[in-house]
Structures are given as C-alpha cells and as structure tokens.
Structure 1
C-alpha cells in the first residue's frame, strides 16, 4: 500500500454510497461505522422550536425600525391606530404592505376568533415568526447533513440553538429576519440540488422581504448558469417567481398607497442611487461588525472568518481524501457568506440587523472550522505516534468538538441572559401599563396620552396599549432626527400624503407634545438630566412612579460584564438605573374592585 493511501485511511473509513434525489451522497461520517450520535429531523425541530419560543417570550426589541416600520403599521392594519414613518408615506412608498399582511392575516383571524388583548396578538405574531425560523433551520440542518456530513451538521445545530445571534434575530419582525428564513431555505435547497425551489425562495426573500438579500442568490445563479449551463431552467423560474410574487405584491401595495408602487425598487433607489444613501442615519467604523459578530456568536464568528484559511491549511498540509465529486467544493458552498461579508463590511452605514440573513451560515462555517481543527490535531498526533489503520479522526478528537460546543454555548447563553437582564425593562414596564387598562383602572371614554421623550426608540409598540383610546405622544429630547407621526384618521389613511414628512431625517417640531397633557410617561432614570431631557422621575409634584424595574447603565458598567452575564459576579461590576412608568399627578386611576366585590355585583 502506498504511503499516501495509508495516511488517507487514517482519516477516512470506507463509506457506502446511496442515491438521494438523483445524486450520490456519501454516508457522512456514518454513525454505524464510528458510533456518531446526532438528532434526527423531528428532534432537531423540537430543539430549535423550544429555543425560538424562548426568544419570542424573553427577547426585547433591539431595533426601533422594528417598532415603527413594522409593528406600528401592523397595529394600524389591525386596530386602526398606529404610528406612520416617512417610508410609508405615498410620496416615498419604500415599504410593502404585502409583507405586513403576510403576518397580519393570521393575526386578524386570531383576533376574530378569540378577541384577545393586543399584547397577546403581539406574542402570537412572534410565535409564528419562531415557527417559520425553526422550520427553515431544520431544513437547513438536514441538507447540511447531506452536503457536509453529520458531524459538521450536529455542531451547526448546536450553534444555531444556543447562539445569541439567533436568539436576537429569530423572532424579530424585520425584513432582514424574514430574508434570513428564506435565504436559509434557498441555500439548503441549493445544497439539495433543488434549484427551482432555491430560485423561488430567493425571490420571496428579496422581493417580499429585503431586496438586498438577492446577493445571497448570486452563487446559486452562477451554479446554474456557469457550472451547469441550465440557462433555460434559470430564466423560466426567475420569470415564474417574478410573476407569482410581484403581480399580487404590486396590486396590494398600489391599492394601499393609492398609486402604482414597486416597493423593492423604491428602497433600492433610495439606498443606492441617492447622493446621501443610508449614511444620514449614521455611520460606524470598520470594526463594528467584528465586535458585533463576536458578541452574538463569540468564537463561532471567529471560526467563520478564518474558515477559508483553515480550508487552505488542511488542503495543503493534511493528506485528506477529496470530497465526493457530487458535493460542491467548500469554497463554493460557503460563497454566499463571504460575498455578503465582502459587500456589507465595506459599507459606512452599519446595523446589527444587516447581518441577520447570514447568521445560519456563520454557524455552519464555524462548525467547519472546528472540524478542520480536529483533522489538523489528528494529523499532528499521527505524525508523533502512529495509530492503527482503521482509526478515524473523530475517535480521537471528540474532546475538541465537545469543548467547542460547551464554550461557545456558554458564551451564547451568557450573552442572551445579559441582554435579558440588562435591556428587557421596557417590555416589562409596558406589560404593567397594559394591565392598568385591562384591569379597568384607566377610563375608556377619554383619550390617554402616553408620552415618551428620550426613550422613544425603546418603546416596544402600540400592541402593549390595552385599547385604542391610548395615544403615543413624543416629548422633545436631545434627538434631532425625524420622528414618526400617527396615521391619518381618514378611512384611506395609507394613501394620504400627510404634511411634515421628509426623507432626509430632518427634525420635525410638529411631532412634539405638551408634557402638561401627558397621562403617563415612559422614562429612564440614570441620575442625569439636561434641559431637553429632564428627570421626570424626580418631579413628585407632577409625576408619580407607579412601576419601576432595573435597566443597565452601560456607561458605568464593566465592558465584559455588561456584555456577558456571569452569575453571582456580574452584579458587582454593573450599574443599573430605574426604568419607570410615571403617572401624572393630575390623572387619577380608577379603583379596582376586589374579586369578592365583583362577584357580589354580578
């Protein structure tokens, strides 16, 4: 036997071949050969769904765009009240009502059947998003098993379940999260060689969700057009997808806006072909995504970044058998991830949600890097101390896999707990505000002015108001950008061009409300104040604190311990302020009858 063949046998056992959808797959690291344990599709779905439901319940809204561009117009569609941003003005028409209706149709059915409190509708929608995310992930997991092997797939699954990035993005009502679901499905279908499904999923992701997500479909298109020369099939399914998606989308959006609207084109024109683009909303340094990626995926993210170097190292140093010719080359199958990184890391305007579509692929690339480390370790060990021919690298490197999963999972859980403990307060306080109305302590025959000042961007949405007589109002603060305003009260409000909107993020003084007319204020007390941002919590003659909870003061907390929660230790290095629900002293809550009195009255 040649020495090269002997070395290869040290890495790989003989693998059976089987047919699947017209192509041959190796039995990846076959469990019958080396005793691999991995979850089946049903078990994987249950694990993923459990994690996503946790996110739906305990994750806070991390981006004000989610509140004002999606939750608020959705509240208007369901209840007739809500905040409108300039992007929903018919003058600009950057957002699609079709995207909202995908979520609001089941929510409307839920409202019709059970007449729930609006906050329950909020969580109902989040649970729907969680189910959609889990379904896309389990489909991805099953096809990673086929394309990369069970070993890489089970690590990918562990990273998906326990990473903080997936916790944040999975239940977010954002087009970038929607595109994450559908782009994950498209890439999984590509791995399964279901090109028609991959094209259709990419079309839904980019047309109904976020048009820039089409970038992730470029390697799939190149596979069909260049490698496989299937021009006819590609064009056919592009046309089918466009017809099936765009025709109803244009009809629905044009009906709501009162004019012809192609929302994906409008958002591309604004962000790419204007002089300012999105940079007027702020720019971030090049390091932003590196720091953000580590917070959300810790060492998984580092592994994803170095995966190409690991590929090269293993290819040049380790005498491993080439992949099955029916599988895509590693560099090509991971191309969507690095194409996205190349484009978005170079943009000046950076936001956490812009990386959502590649989050599952970060988990996959991180798992591949761990696999490379195992192979490299095993190769070095065999050079030092030769092993029997039948030895497989996984038999001697399980500790590396377990260490990677345990360490990355602990960091992921720690980060998710830090987010919950530090920033969940606005959701908790708004739940208390909702109870005031649902328990009958607030009159229903007058409009209730619920005011926000500097905390406008943490307001979780009007779904937390108990009834339609509550109105969100804005107090002037140090923020100098453009705030939303309420939808018009006219029947065709979505097609009315309201005054005082602009697409340059210029301050609109017409938004500001008189603090003397506020019934409630949502405010954060960090012990500081300015002329425009007084500490309303310390004005006992005007406001009373009726509910308070802790909120992290990041400026006075240790950078590591505010980012990652360590039980029994973090509280020593973190400082908290008070997140308060304030009631005007001029406004008296109604008394709540005890259950006994209520029963006697009945």
Structure 2
C-alpha cells in the first residue's frame, strides 16, 4: 500500500508541475508561434499566419507533425470554439504526456539504479528550468524529447548497465536555485505578450490589432477574441514577416509571390498605421520621436490612448544598469528600488486636493494624515512583506492556486491582502463632519453592513469607532463573493449575508471600492438606497481615475459602467470624474453630506512594502 501511495505522489508531482508549465510558461521563441501554433490555428479555424517555410514553393515543413496535435484539438473544437481554451488544452495534453513518460523512466530508474538515484533524478526533473519550458512546447524538439524519454526507459528496462552521474552537493544546490529562479522569472516577468490580449473587448465588426517592433512576441491567433485580425506595421525589422493563409479549402497549396528564401521583406505583409484599431507596443520609457522607425507609441497621447498595460521586464535596461539576472535577485533588487521610491513620497499628498470640483467643492472635508495608526499599519505591512520565505511560499502557492481560484480567493486562503483606508480617528472626524452622529443620542444599537468586506479589517476599524463614540451595541453584517473571505468573516463573528436584499432599515451601509468591480453598479446603488433606514447613511469609496474590472466575469467588463458614457470622448480630470460620480449618487436619490480624499492601502509582497491607490470617500444619506 505504501508503494502505491509513493507512486501516486510521484505521478501527482510530475503532472502538477508539468501542468504548471502548460498554464504559466511563456512562448519562448517566435518560431513556436509562427511555424507551429499559427499553422495549427489555420488547420482548425481556417485563419492564421503562414511563413515561407510552409509555402509550397519551398515546402521545408510538413503538416504531419501539426495534425498529430491537431486531431485532439479538432475533437475539442466540436465542444468549444474558444481559442484560448483550445491552446491550453493542447498544451496540457503535451504536458501530461511528458509527465507520464517521465514517470515510466522514474520507475525503471528506481528498479535498476535504486530509489536514491531515482529520487535525485525526479528532483532535478521537477526543478529543471529547461524541462519547465520544453515539456509543453509545441516544437519538434520537445517531441524528440518525449521519444528520447520513452527510448531511454525501454533501453534501461532491457539492459541492466547503468551510467551513474556523481554531482557535488554544492552543484546540486546551485542547480536547484538556478532552476527555480528561471521558472519563476519566465512566469512572473515575461507573460505580458500572452496576457495583454485578454483585455480586448468583444466586437461584432472586424478590428485590426497591429504589431510593430513586437511582432516576434505575438503569442498567436488563439489568444485573439473573434473578429480581430493581427496586422504588421513598419518597423526597423526589414526581414520577411508571416502572412495570412489564403482562407480557402486549398489554402495550403497556393504559391504566393511575396514569399522568398532570402529573408527579404515584402510590402504585402505591412499595414497602414492609421488604419489600426489597436496597437501592441513595448514602452521602453523613451520620448516619442515621430521620425523614428520604432517610436514609443504609448507616449503619443494625441493619437493613442492606453487601453491596457501589463508589466514586462526590459532585459536590455537590466543589463545596462547592472541589474541582477536571477529571478530571486531581481525580486530583491526591485524591492530595494521600490522601497527607496516609497521613502521619498510625501504621504500628506494622499489626503490633499490640488483643485476642488466646482459643484461639490464646499462639501469637501480635509483629513490630516497620515496619523499614528496609519503609520503603524504601514510599518506592520513592511515587516510582513519583508519576510522573504513567507512571501516566496505565497508566490509559489499562487502559481498552483491560480488554476482554479480567483486572486481574492487566494488572498483569503493565504490570509493575506489586508487593506487600510481610514483610521478610527479619521472615521470619527469624517462621520462627525457629515452629521452621522446627530439625532442618534437615544439609539442604543446600530446595524452596519459592509458590501464586499474582504477580510473585515476595515469594517472592524469602523465598528470600533462607533462603539467608542456612543457605546452602541453594533450588529455587523457583511456581503462577500469570495468563499475564502467569507470564512474569514465568519471567524470574526460577522453575520455574512448572501446578498444585500436580506437586510432592511440599516443605519449604515459601507461600500468601499466595489462599484468599479461589480457587474452592475447602478443596481448595487439602488439596492443600497432601498436597504437603508429613513435616517440611514451610506459610506461609499471609489478609486479615481476611474477604471472598471469585474473579477468573476470572463470578459471582466460590467453590464453598465458606473460613469457614463465611458470611455468619454475627451480625457477627463479627476475633478470632472468626481462630479460625474456625485451626479450618479444624486440620481439614485442620495444626498451628499461630505466627502474626502484618502489612500486605499494594500498589504505588500515580495516586490514592495505596500501598494496604494487614490480613494475618494463619500458620506451620503437618503
């Protein structure tokens, strides 16, 4: 029985690590995209890029290898047409195949060479950066690796002669550190080309997504939503770019005059920049130079607006500025750099307004901060985020949990992600300024409900303020969509509701930074209004500049945006966005009592001590 358990652990370890490779390893070479994934996309969906190697005139590559993977993908296509899902299922099939072949070799190594040798081999396999990258790659070299694994296992099974490699203990440690470091680096710092396309909105008309200097990082049409086409615009690269297959039944047999074997570029592959609907570019921090062959387009705000941006390590700058190369070393370096920047911040600007909105400026209440309790929270966050091994365990755990849990669920499970907005003293000052405590002298009890309460720490600060002010008996309700956070709220004696409709005549409803994260913010505001007592108040916070993201919606878009129309025809100032927000509240029926500016602080991680956004907190009543 113990042997069966041991084998099950080995199989599970190999399968889990290889599936992590399938889900989180990047496409390391554009050859994999354009010579394998794109032709496969064409075979499945009738659309994809063709390289000169596949042109019938040269015919350097065969479609046989592609159909080996295309057949299961074709079967899957009968169930779903989701390109991203098909991409990852094919990758997972490759990963599981590799894991099973590795397990067979492990068993034979254990029988022929002993359990110690087999265990060391397994350890190297699980922590090898090369295996992490290659095990799920759609490349003939990876297929050859599978064959080699099968051949070696068969050979060892027939022949008892074995070559035993002896490695110094220090070499083992170095190999383990380098392997894990490389795996973390590729997953954490270089995923931008594969993730940025997920923010493209659904569309009914054909739109063009253009690539210039970043053409070699395009992950493939599997990552594009329907009705999008990738186009290439002129850059400093003068070689031959891929072109779309002729989308007919015999598209693979048509000879095109724009392919050649001299790597000479052809105008057919290029698209006019002015006709692009979206442009994927790498912001290197340079100024915009319209005469450059590869200008920094994101700085040209007259022509382009940033729809989405994802962090990506700029390797050239790392080397030129003597930054470390290892993933763990980079984390330390970034942490020191980010914390140094944080030290220079004037934290009083978190609470001050440079200019007040015209319509609602008289209702602004200035908070003095950061106060002592805020600074204590920041210091605790620095200490917690500075525990390297704890934070490293969190990062590794997130790699596994991301497969089936949202980021909020993961934070709840790992007991991290603590938030801070106002201290007890600041809550007291703000509620007093807005008239919350007036005419409540005779009340002995209060009912408070926090929507999207998270871990409940912000709510507990507010409740403590109320209890200290009037010695009220406070009944605390909360709603939360994350099941792990609900468990944490139950541990803190919150009454957790399924939805806001379960509470009526609440004295105070709190909605901190949920309106830009929910499916329909207008319905939520109406529900808040209806759930309040006639003398009830609502405490609402919104991060500005406004941006929406719905975590549990596949498109991450709300049914209706809070601020409408959005995006606006022209870029708005924060003061203009504030006025739009307050107008929305008044349209529901709320009366604005007072408002203020405060930091929305979040517990830090390996990269920096803490994070912050700019919050605008509003106290309103019926």
2:224, 2:280 → 1: CA distance?
A: 13
Find the residue that maps to 1:121 and give its secondary structure. Answer: helix
Residue 44 of structure 1 aligns with which residue? 10
Q: Does the alignment pair 1:139 with 2:104?
A: yes
1:105, 1:555 → 2: CA distance?
A: 41
Q: Does the alignment pair 1:501 with 2:259?
A: yes
Deviation at 1:595, TM superposition (A): 10
Find the residue that maps to 1:450 and give its secondary structure. Answer: strand
1:236-275 map, 5 Å: none
Aligned length: 340
Q: Does the alignment pair 1:409 with 2:176?
A: yes
Match of 1:554 among 298, 315, 319: 315
TM-score, scaled relative to structure 2:
0.51
Residue 534 of structure 1 aligns with which residue? 295
Q: Does the alignment pair 1:481 with 2:239?
A: yes
1:62, 1:523 → 2: CA distance?
A: 18
Q: Does the alignment pair 1:178 with 2:178?
A: no
2:160, 2:144 → 1: CA distance?
A: 25
CA shift in 2, pair 1:189/1:595, >3 Å: farther
Unaligned runs of 5+ in 1: 1-31, 194-325, 331-364, 374-399, 576-588, 597-602
Deviation at 1:411, TM superposition (A): 2.7
2:5, 2:118 → 1: CA distance?
A: 10
CA shift in 2, pair 1:574/1:172, >3 Å: farther
Match of 1:420 among 187, 191, 208: 187
Residue 332 of structure 2 aligns with which residue? 569
Residue 369 of structure 1 aligns with which residue? 166
Find the residue that maps to 2:60 and give its secondary structure. Answer: coil
The answer on whether the counterparts of 2:46 and 2:248 sit within 8 Å (CA) in structure 1 is: no
Match of 1:125 among 90, 95, 99: 90
1:40, 1:157 → 2: CA distance?
A: 13
Residue 606 of structure 2 aligns with which residue? none
1:369, 1:480 → 2: CA distance?
A: 49
Residue 90 of structure 1 aligns with which residue? 56
Residue 123 of structure 2 aligns with which residue? 158
Deviation at 1:471, TM superposition (A): 1.2
1:128-527 map, 5 Å: 128-193=93-158, 327-328=160-161, 330=163, 368-370=165-167, 373=168, 400=169, 407-433=174-200, 436-437=201-202, 442=203, 444=204, 446-467=205-226, 469-527=227-285
CA displacement, residues 558-591 of structure 1 (integer Å, 9 cap, x when unaligned): 567233324751315889xxxxxxxxxxxxx9x9
CA shift in 2, pair 1:39/1:62, >3 Å: farther
2:60, 2:114 → 1: CA distance?
A: 42
CA displacement, residues 105-134 of structure 1 (integer Å, 9 cap, x when unaligned): 111211212x24211111111111111110
1:92, 1:41 → 2: CA distance?
A: 48
The answer on whether the counterparts of 1:167 and 1:416 sit within 8 Å (CA) in structure 2 is: yes
Deviation at 1:505, TM superposition (A): 1.7
The answer on whether the counterparts of 1:38 and 1:150 sit within 8 Å (CA) in structure 2 is: no
**Runs of 4+ deviating beyond 6 Å:** none
Greater share of helix: 1
CA displacement, residues 458-478 of structure 1 (integer Å, 9 cap, x when unaligned): 1100001111x2111111111
Find the residue that maps to 1:521 and give its secondary structure. Answer: strand
Deviation at 1:172, TM superposition (A): 0.9
The structure with the largest alpha-carbon Rg is 2
Deviation at 1:42, TM superposition (A): 3.0
CA shift in 2, pair 1:45/1:560, >3 Å: farther
The answer on whether the counterparts of 1:143 and 1:192 sit within 8 Å (CA) in structure 2 is: yes
Find the residue that maps to 2:230 and give its secondary structure. Answer: strand
- Give the CA RMSD over aligned residues: 2.8
Match of 1:63 among 10, 25, 29: 29
Which gives a bigger RCO, structure 1 or 2 (Cα 8 Å, sep 6+)? Answer: 1
Q: Does the alignment pair 1:103 with 2:69?
A: yes
TM-score, scaled relative to structure 1:
0.53
1:572, 1:93 → 2: CA distance?
A: 50
Deviation at 1:404, TM superposition (A): 5.9
CA shift in 2, pair 1:531/1:139, >3 Å: same
Greater share of strand: 2
CA shift in 2, pair 1:595/1:525, >3 Å: closer
Deviation at 1:47, TM superposition (A): 0.6
CA displacement, residues 534-579 of structure 1 (integer Å, 9 cap, x when unaligned): 111011121110111211111221567233324751315889xxxx
CA shift in 2, pair 1:567/1:500, >3 Å: closer
